[in-house]
Amino acid sequence: MADDMFRGANELEGRAIREIAALAMDAPAAAKSGHSGTAMALAPLGVMLFSRVMRHDPTDERWSDRDRFILSCGHASILQYGLAHAFGYDMTPEDLRSFRQPHSRTPGHPENGVAPTVEVTTGPLGQGLANGVGMAIAERILRSDYGEELVSHRTWVIAGDGCLEEGISHEAASLAGSLGLDRLTVFYDDNHITIDGPTELALRDNAAERFAAYGWHVINLGEQANDLDALEAATRLAIGETSRPTLIIVRSHIAFPSPEMMDRREAHGSPFSAPVIEAAKELLGVPNEPFLFDPELPHLMVEALANRRSERVAWEARITAAGQHGVQLLEQLQFNGMALVETEPEPFAGGSMVATRKAMQRAMDAFAPQCRGLTAGSADLTDNTGVLLAHSPAQGAASPGGRQIYYGVREFAMGACMVGQALHGGFRPIGSTFFVFSDYVRPAIRMAALSHAGVLFVFTHDSVGVGEDGPTHQPVEQLMALRAMPRLHVVRPSDANETLDLVEQFLSAKEPVTTALILSRQDMPVFSGDDAAASAAGARRGGYVLREHDDAVFTLVGTGSELGHCLSAHDQLLAKGIVTRVVALPCWACFDEQPLEYRTGVLRRAIPSVALEAGATLGWTKYADEAIGIDTFGLSAPGAYVFDYFNINPAALVAHVQIVLGDSR
C-alpha cells in the first residue's frame, strides 16, 4: 500500500513525504504537545510545492526573489520544519528533536527569524492569509518599479478551516480580490475537523462560492490531497491566471493514513499514542523508530533543485547587468526602503494651534519623495488621518506601482497586510484609522511587534476630544492597553513639529521599530523657543524636561495635548509662588530604553509629581506619584466640555498641587 499511497510522487518525493508524516507524529509525541494530524495530511502538498513549483534555493535561503511560503494554519508548524529539513535548509535533526522545547529553533508555531523558510509569524488563525495579501502587494509594487526581470516571485499560502472561519479572512480576501492580486495563491485545507469536532457544528459556508464572489479564481480539487500530479496541475492553472488571486480547495483527511486517528477531532491537537504511531508508520512503510531521518535526503533534494539554483544565478547576473538599478533594488530590500532625508518639512509656526493629526499630511508630502519604501493608506479615513500620497495612484491592477492603498473598512486586514509588506522586505508601510478602532487592529499590532515588523500604525482622534460622537468613539483605555504590549513603541507627540520629527525617525531608521503613533483631533499649541528646542533634543528619547528649576517643589508630567495644560498650570502656580517642573513623556517604551541617569534626571522622583492624561490612569505610578485621567467611559458632548467634565484641564492640576502641598491659596 505504501508504494501507491501518494500518487504521482517520484522516489525522492515519496521518501520526503513519509519522513515528514512520521516526524509529524514523533515530534509532538516527544514534546507531549503539538498538532500531528494536519501536518500529516498536508505533507504531500508541502512536498509538491517545494519540489516542483516554488522558486527557492536552500543554498541561499534569503534570496530576495524567492517565492514566499506562508503556513497560515501555524499549529501545523512541524510540517514547515520537516519541509525545511528534507529540502536541505539549515534545519538539523537535533532542531527537530527539540520541537517545542525551550529556546529551540522549532517553536510551537512558526516565528519569523527563528527557523528557515518561515516568512511571517503565524498561529492566530487567518492572519497568515492576510500577511500573504500584504506580501503580494509588496511584490507587485517592486515588480512595477524594477521590472519582471528583477522581481518575479509569487506568494503561496496554506490555510485551514479555522483561517477561513476567522473574520480576517473575509477582510483580506475581499481586499485581494478587489486589487486583483494574481500572484497570490491560497490552498484551503478543507479537512472538515476542528478541535470541537466536525466543522459542520458551526460552518456550512460554500467556500468556493464565497471566494468567487470576492473575485477570486477558484479551483476545487476535491479528494486529491495525496495526488501530487493533480496538486501540481492546479498550481499551474493558478500561475496561468493573470488577473485574479487563486483559491485551491483541497479535501484532505486529517491524520492520513492513521486508521485510528484519521478524520477524528482528537487528531487536531493531541499527540498520538505509541500504538497509533506504530500502526501509521507501518502503513507509511517506514521503520517504527522515533526521529528516523534519511541522511541522504537533504543533499539529494538540494541536487534535485539545481534548476532553481540556476534561476537564482541567472537572476544575480541580471541584477549585476542592471547596474545602479539593481543596486537600488538590493538596497531597498536590505533597508526596507529607508528614507534618505535631504529636505525637511516646513515646521509649523511656534505659538500656533495645530492638531497633531494635521502634521501627518505635511509629513507625507515631504517624506514620500524621499522614501522608496513608503506605502500609505487607511481604513476608509484617508483625509481624516492625513495619509494621502499626493503623487501616487491608488494601488490596483490598473496601477500596480501605486503606493496609496485604500484598505476599505477593514482595520484588522489592513494591519496584517502591512505586516506582510514589511516582512516581505523593501517597504515601510503606514496605515491609519481612529484610535478607538485600534481594538480592531490589535491582533495584527501584536503580531507585528512579535515579528519585529517595521510598521507604523497611525491612530488619530486620540481621546475624549472626539466630542459629540460619544463614548463609542472616545478612546480611554486603548493607550494603556497598547503600552502593555512588548516591543511596541506607543508614541503620543507633544506638538505638530514633534510629530514630523517622530515620523522622520521611523522612516529613516535602519531598523524601524513597530510603532503606534497616537495623534489628536483637537488643536493644541505648537512649541516655540526653549520648548521647541527641548522637544527636538528629547522627543526621540521618549521623555524630556520642558520646564526645569533647581528649586522646583513639584513635577507636572503629561503627554500629547495635555502638555499644554501642564504648561498653563505651571505658569498659574508660578504666579502663586509655587515653582514646578514640566516633563513630557511621549513614548514610555523609548524612555525606558534610556540610561538610568537620564531617566532619573528627567523624572526627579525625590519631589512629588502628578501626571495628566486623557485616558486610563493605570500604569502611571511608574513615572509619577499620582495621575489625573479618565477611568470611565466618555460622554457625548462638545470636546471642550468633555475635557472639563473629566477635569482634564489646568485647574485640576493647580488644585491637586495645592492640596498635596497643603497650600490654601
485 contacts: CB under 8 Å, gap ≥ 6:
445, 446, 449
CB–CB of 441/433 below 8 Å? yes
CB–CB of 298/95 below 8 Å? no
Q: Is 91 exposed, middle or buried (0-12, 13-18, 19+ CB in 10 A)?
A: buried
CB burial string 214-244: b at 16+ within 10 A, e below: bbbbbbebeebbbbbebbbebbeebeeeeeb
Residue 8, Ramachandran bin (φ over 0: left; ψ between -120 and 50: alpha; else beta) = left
3-class state of residue 58 by DSSP: helix
C-alpha cell recorded at residue 546: 520642558
CB–CB of 154/119 below 8 Å? no
Question: What radius of gyration do the chain's Cα atoms show?
Answer: 28
From residue 121, give the alpha-carbon distance in Å to each of 81, 105, 262, 290, 462: 13, 13, 28, 28, 29
Residue 352, Ramachandran bin (φ over 0: left; ψ between -120 and 50: alpha; else beta) = beta
CB burial string 597-616: b at 16+ within 10 A, e below: eebeebbeeeebbbbbbbbb
Q: Is 541 exposed, middle or buried (0-12, 13-18, 19+ CB in 10 A)?
A: middle
Q: Among all residues, which ones are annotated catalytic?
A: 411
d(CA 95, CA 293): 12
Angle at 466 between CA 465 and CA 468, to 5 degrees: 110
Residue 586: half-sphere exposure toward Cβ, Cα within 13 Å? 32
**C-alpha of 449 from chain center:** 7
Residue 561, Ramachandran bin (φ over 0: left; ψ between -120 and 50: alpha; else beta) = alpha
Overall residue count recorded for the chain in this entry: 665
From residue 454, give the alpha-carbon distance in Å to each of 229, 337, 344, 483, 643: 39, 11, 22, 17, 34
From residue 448, give the alpha-carbon distance in Å to each of 69, 160, 414, 423: 18, 22, 12, 9
Q: Match 496609496 to its residue by C-alpha cell.
A: 404
Find residue 491's DSSP bridge partners.
Answer: 517
Q: Match 499630511 to its residue by C-alpha cell.
A: 361
200 contacts: CB under 8 Å, gap ≥ 6:
192
Alpha helix segments (H runs only) across 559-649? 562-575, 588-592, 596-603, 639-645
DSSP category for residue 345: P
